[in-house]
Amino acid sequence: MTTAWIDTHCHLDAPEFDADRSAVRREAMARGVDHCVIPAVERSNWETVRLLAHQHGDSYALGIHPLYTGRADDGDVALLQEMLVQHHADPRLAAIGEIGLDYFVPGLDPTRQERFYRAQLQLARRFDLPVILHVRRSADKLLKGLRDLPVRGGIAHAFNGSLQQAQAFIGLGFKLGFGGAMTYDRALQLRGLAAELPEEALVLETDAPDIPPHWLYTPAAQRAEGLPQGRNAPAELPRIAEVLAQLRGQPLAALAQATTANACAALPRLVPLLALRGIDGEIEE
């Protein structure tokens, strides 16, 4: 079997991809990104991410993102439960997500966020699914929720916390997602974590079309002059992986094998899907 790159967090349904979505996915495949996990953010795109995953041979997650809790209906959790009942047997349904807490963006009701977060942890427990977590200035509160309502692990997406917080997530069975933010020289703490954390804790992601790596980033001054921000895409994942391999002093092939196995450990429903493509989700001893 061969080993491939897995983009564990890609918003392929985003409007930024409306003009060339299939071409974007083909380019990623051509660069070795054999699988993408497409998380939902609100009720309106649950069915969209499901259909996209089936169209492109990928996986999806269903959930309510903390940034969308302000416009979510109180009944959306019940509707999510109905969706999970309907599709729980779907092998491409990999997780509950993207869920979590965001204490960075102003104007969000923290109490409302926490209510949606805990309700979705309850769904993850009921349906025995891992979760994909949005973590932004909220690691400690997220960890408290996980201790109160333990789930079967998952991924702490775009992790950028402390070593102690990283170890706490790992101790609860989570992998940590690293992507474009790690490619910036000034991201010293994040790059240090990427270099020092145990290999078995790491998964790769793009968060496309967001969190562009440094080679796509357009500085604020240039954006003010009308230049657009660079669009991140799943095809960037191998180059992001090269940065991680350099930080760790690790051969790229070994990193590919390890992060693929880690993604499969975090999201076990990936294993049979990858096996259909001849991709091994196990680390060789």
Mark residue 128 as left, alpha or beta (left: phi above 0; alpha: psi -120 to 50; beta: remaining).
left
157 assigned to a ligand binding site: yes
Q: What percent of the chain has pLDDT over 90?
A: 91
Per-residue model confidence (pLDDT) at position 285: 43
Terminal C-alpha separation, the chain? 15
Instruction: Establish if 206 belongs to a structural domain.
Output: yes
134 assigned to a ligand binding site: yes
Please give the average per-residue pLDDT across 178-195, as a whole number.
98
65 assigned to a ligand binding site: no
Instruction: Establish if 13 belongs to a structural domain.
Output: yes
Instruction: Establish if 280 belongs to a structural domain.
Output: no
Instruction: Establish if 281 belongs to a structural domain.
Output: no
Helix (H) or strand (E) run with residue 23 in it: helix 21-30
CA pseudo-torsion sign 203, 270, 8, 253: positive
Could you tell me if 7 and 208 are in contact, meaning their C-beta atoms sit under 8 angstroms apart? yes
Could you tell me if 105 and 138 are in contact, meaning their C-beta atoms sit under 8 angstroms apart? no
Instruction: Establish if 284 belongs to a structural domain.
Output: no
Per-residue model confidence (pLDDT) at position 262: 98
56 assigned to a ligand binding site: no
11 assigned to a ligand binding site: yes
Instruction: Establish if 214 belongs to a structural domain.
Output: yes
Instruction: Establish if 283 belongs to a structural domain.
Output: no
144-166 pLDDT tens trace: 999 999 999 999 999 999 999 99
87 assigned to a ligand binding site: no
Token pair, residue 51, equals: 């259909």
CATH number at residue 131: 3.20.20.140
Per-residue model confidence (pLDDT) at position 100: 98
Q: How confident is the model at residue 2 (pLDDT cuts 50, 70, 90)?
A: low
Per-residue model confidence (pLDDT) at position 220: 80
Per-residue model confidence (pLDDT) at position 3: 58
> Which range of residues forms the domain containing residue 79?
5-275
Per-residue model confidence (pLDDT) at position 225: 86
How many folded domains does the chain comprise?
Answer: 1
Q: How far apart are CA 53 and CA 186, in angstroms?
A: 35
- Residues contacting residue 72 through CB under 8 Å, at least 6 positions apart: 42, 43, 64, 116
Q: Which amino acid is at 127?
A: F
